[in-house]
Amino acid sequence: MESIWTKTCSIPHRKPLQNDLETEVAVIGAGMAGILIAYLLQKAGKNVIVLDADRIASGQTKNTTAKITSQHDLIYANLIETFGTEKARQYAMANETAIEMYRNLIKNENIDCDFEETSAYIYAKDKNKLQAEVDAAVSLGLPASLTEQIPLPFENVYAVRFNNQAQFHPLKFIKHLSDNLEIYEKTPVLSVEEHLLKTPKATVTAEHIVFATHYPFINFPGLYFMRLHQDRSYVLALENAVPSDGMYLGNGEIIYSFRKYKNYLLFGGEGHRTGENKNGGRYDNLRNKAKELFPNAKEIAHWSAQDCIPADGIPYIGQYASAKPYWYVATGFQKWGMTSSMVSAMIIRDMICGKKNPYADVFDPQRFSMDAVEGIACEMKEATKTYIKRFFKLPEETASELPAGHGGIIEINGEKTGVYKDENGEIHTVDIRCPHLGCQLDWNPDEKSWDCPCHGSRFDFRGNLINNPAQINITIKKNEKSPRP
């Protein structure tokens, strides 16, 4: 599965780290956030290196729909109610500033990345809810209005429109930005102790360490596993579908995402919590809807994305934990990774350079609110349920019932085992215990992967790690005796 971005842009390879290094700042993760943080810090005169377990932009950056917007669903009325006007304004202005930073950076550096100014829309049938969001957004200084003029094939919908937003090609942008950065690929960070990072062949000693790894992989301190889960969603790139100007996301009964890229329409939806896709059919559902809405459309690419969802709806950007003042984190961007990455870069640059950032408070990872407490309780309940399931819930399938090309949990030698029967009938067996914190993995039939409902780690059917916070593969189980028929 290649996204439209990887099909249309490739980024030169970098070598793995071979020798010990000392630096002012080490950034872990070469996605959009990591690269922007490194770029702004280097511009501020800091000596920076970036380490990535895989390749530049090989994580979620290559799977984004690359909407650059401060319109993050219908949030502003709720932000004002929960956090107060001042914090809500910080959030709004941080994201508007991020858009401006992209605009200026792309113009000043003459970056050829298909950058387009456009409007963003949240569409829904509930006009009153949309009007409340417009009122809240306008009160914070955002360019919001209510409109009935939206070029989407749905009836009786209205939309909150934000003017002066943008979209681009994220890999073309990151390719340019990473050109002059010191980046080591295929260099997983195995451990971090105070200022020392260990990688397979060398160590890095850094005054400051930034975790820009999508989901933070150090559990203690920080406790991010109690405050984040992950969701998945799916995208089709369609030819011969009417490309609409603007970027769209539904709220309420119709939840589809639209944006155009050149002659293609990027059509997304079918979101769910990672690890909760037992019945599959997500791509088929999306294809059926695309056929209904755009009968002449032809699919030219499909892919999926994984988003980190914070307990109280606001990303965690700033100090990793109060016990580690020289560690920083940028995570929990939900579906809004482009502006959140730039906000992270601004805030973390200022923190490392000893400057006060006007937007930092609302994103402070050490914040406390009743929403956060409720969110944490919810995450803990979900994780506990999935953890316990591993011990008590008996497997429902047997090996003989598994059709070729399918997977499931069955009992082998008295133990629950993950089994995938490939198209040739060959059986692949894995331990279904997630190596992160031990929850039970579930089969994802759409992507032939083992996914963890607790915090969203994912593994292919051979047990290889696809998505963190787990850092290692799952154990392959030897098929010593025949599976129970």
223 phi and psi angles, rounded to 5 deg: 55, 40
**Of the two residues 137 and 441, which places its CB atom closer to ligand FES in the complex?**
441
Q: What track of x and - describes contact with ligand FES for positions 380 through 419 (by CB under 6 A)?
A: ----------------------------------------
The correct pick among 60, 457, 477, 483 for binding ligand FES (CB under 6 A) is 457
375: nearest Cα among 82, 33, 74: 82
340: nearest Cα among 303, 307, 371, 304: 307
Measure the N-to-C terminal CA separation of the chain; round to a whole number of Å: 33
**Of the two residues 259 and 455, which places its CB atom closer to ligand FES in the complex?**
455
Q: Where are the beta strands (DSSP E) in 29-133?
A: 48-51, 67-68, 116-124
Asked whether position 249 contacts ligand FES by CB under 6 A, the answer is no
Asked whether position 455 contacts ligand FES by CB under 6 A, the answer is yes
Paired tokens of 190: 């195995």
The correct pick among 436, 442, 446, 474 for binding ligand FES (CB under 6 A) is 436
Q: Give min distance, CB of 312 to ligand FES, in A.
A: 20
Q: Give min distance, CB of 237 to ligand FES, in A.
A: 29
The correct pick among 454, 459, 461, 465 for binding ligand FES (CB under 6 A) is 454
362: nearest Cα among 399, 297, 315: 315
Q: Give min distance, CB of 470 to ligand FES, in A.
A: 6
**Separation between Cα atoms, residue 168 and residue 35, nearest integer Å:** 16
Q: What track of x and - describes contact with ligand FES for positions 173 through 212 (by CB under 6 A)?
A: ----------------------------------------
Q: Which region among 90-98, 342-350, 422-430, 455-463 touches ligand FES (by CB under 6 A)?
A: 455-463
Asked whether position 452 contacts ligand FES by CB under 6 A, the answer is yes
**Separation between Cα atoms, residue 156 and residue 18, nearest integer Å:** 60
**Of the two residues 122 and 434, which places its CB atom closer to ligand FES in the complex?**
434
Asked whether position 465 contacts ligand FES by CB under 6 A, the answer is no
User: In DSSP terms, which residues pair with 330 in a beta bridge?
Assistant: 317
Q: What track of x and - describes contact with ligand FES for positions 416 through 435 (by CB under 6 A)?
A: ------------------x-
Paired tokens of 397: 């399938």
Q: Give min distance, CB of 231 to ligand FES, in A.
A: 13
**Of the two residues 125 and 390, which places its CB atom closer to ligand FES in the complex?**
390
Paired tokens of 341: 């990455």
Q: Give min distance, CB of 379 to ligand FES, in A.
A: 11
- The site for ligand FES, by CB under 6 A, has a size of 13
Asked whether position 439 contacts ligand FES by CB under 6 A, the answer is yes
Q: Give min distance, CB of 412 to ligand FES, in A.
A: 21
Asked whether position 236 contacts ligand FES by CB under 6 A, the answer is no
Q: Which region among 73-81, 142-150, 317-325, 447-455 touches ligand FES (by CB under 6 A)?
A: 447-455
Q: Give min distance, CB of 221 to ligand FES, in A.
A: 17
- Residue 106 to residues 3, 48, 118, 405, 433: CA-CA distances in angstroms? 23, 22, 15, 45, 45
Q: What single string gives the DSSP state of each residue in 78-116? A: HHHHHH-HHHHHHHHHHHHHHHHHHHHHHHHTT--S--E
Please, what sign has the CA dihedral across residues 471, 476, 477, 483?
A: positive
Most distant CA pair in the chain: distance in Å? 67
Asked whether position 99 contacts ligand FES by CB under 6 A, the answer is no
**Of the two residues 8 and 464, which places its CB atom closer to ligand FES in the complex?**
464
Asked whether position 286 contacts ligand FES by CB under 6 A, the answer is no
**Of the two residues 91 and 225, which places its CB atom closer to ligand FES in the complex?**
225
User: In DSSP terms, which residues pair with 408 in a beta bridge?
Assistant: 419
Helix 76-83 vs helix 127-139: crossing angle, to nearest 10: 60
Residues in Cβ contact with 430 at an 8 Å cutoff, skipping those fewer than 6 apart = 417, 418, 420, 441, 450, 459, 461, 462, 463, 474, 475, 476, 477
Tokens 């290094």 correspond to 21
- Residue 216 to residues 31, 92, 324, 333, 471: CA-CA distances in angstroms? 13, 25, 14, 12, 10
Q: Are strands 247-250 and 116-124 parallel, antiparallel or unpaired?
A: parallel
**Of the two residues 341 and 440, which places its CB atom closer to ligand FES in the complex?**
440
The correct pick among 376, 437, 466, 476 for binding ligand FES (CB under 6 A) is 437
123: nearest Cα among 96, 151, 143: 151
**DSSP code at position 19:** S
Asked whether position 469 contacts ligand FES by CB under 6 A, the answer is yes
Which residues bind to ligand FES, rule: CB under 6 A?
A: 225, 434, 436-439, 452, 454-457, 469-470
